[in-house]
Amino acid sequence: MLIYLSFLAPALLLVVWAQIKVKSSYARAAEIPACMSGAAAAREMLHRSGLYDIDIEQVPGLLSDHYDPRHKTLRLSQDVYHGKSLAAVGIAAHEVGHAIQDARNYLPLVVRNVAVPAASFGSNASLILLMIGAMFQPLAPFIWVGIILFGVVVFFQIVNLPVEFDASARAKAQLVEQGIVNDQELAQVSKVLSAAAMTYVAATLQSVLTLAYYAMIFLGRRR
């Protein structure tokens, strides 16, 4: 366990730093008023983009905001849905960015959506197969299967990075073009979205290092 934690130390430190950065950036931006609520900003941006069939729903939780491509629905947390702050409109705009990607068939998003079922299965099954292969010598090939399944998870997270960065870029451009924020306010919104993006970078790095650790351990056993 100690070796595993040492191997993952850079990613774990980045995860902690990213979470702290998200909370602090969000807290600062939440104190700066915006001209409309997150839900209103999302609706205006969707309409300006010609997307009239996207529903906007309120969901429980803190920063639980997401876009559901299956049901064409934007789901915003209570603080974002009702909040009239730069934090609220920035996060809502980011989710609108995903809706625009979906409508425009943005290739990395298409690939990510296709990979979701396999990544979900791989995340749950890989550790079980690795443990079975490690405990029972006749079933050692299961380790390779577990590594391959975890590799699918890593692939999903790598593909997800350009999706998230592109959604933020679309969000910032839309916010300025539509006059929802000015250039000075955009700087604060950018800090929130950049901090959020770093959480995805940290999670991806953690998965990559975990995959490398599993492969290293298995190759060591083979020798």
Which of 44, 95, 164, 185 does the annotation list as catalytic? Answer: 95
Q: What is the 3-state secondary structure (H, E, C) of 50-77?
A: CCCCCEEEEECCCCCCEEECCCCEEEEE
User: Which amino acid is located at 127 in the chain?
Assistant: L
Query: Could you confirm whether 95 is annotated as catalytic?
Result: yes
Q: Residue 125 and residue 105: Cα distance in Å, rounded?
A: 30
Q: Residue 149 and residue 156: Cα distance in Å, rounded?
A: 11
Nearest partner of 182 among 26, 24, 32, judged by Cα: 32
Q: What is the 3-state secondary structure (H, E, C) of 112-140?
A: HHHHHHHHHHHHHHHHHHHHHHHHCHHHC
Q: Residue 44 and residue 54: Cα distance in Å, rounded?
A: 11
Nearest partner of 107 among 163, 37, 51, 180, judged by Cα: 163
Give the catalytic positions in this structure.
Answer: 95
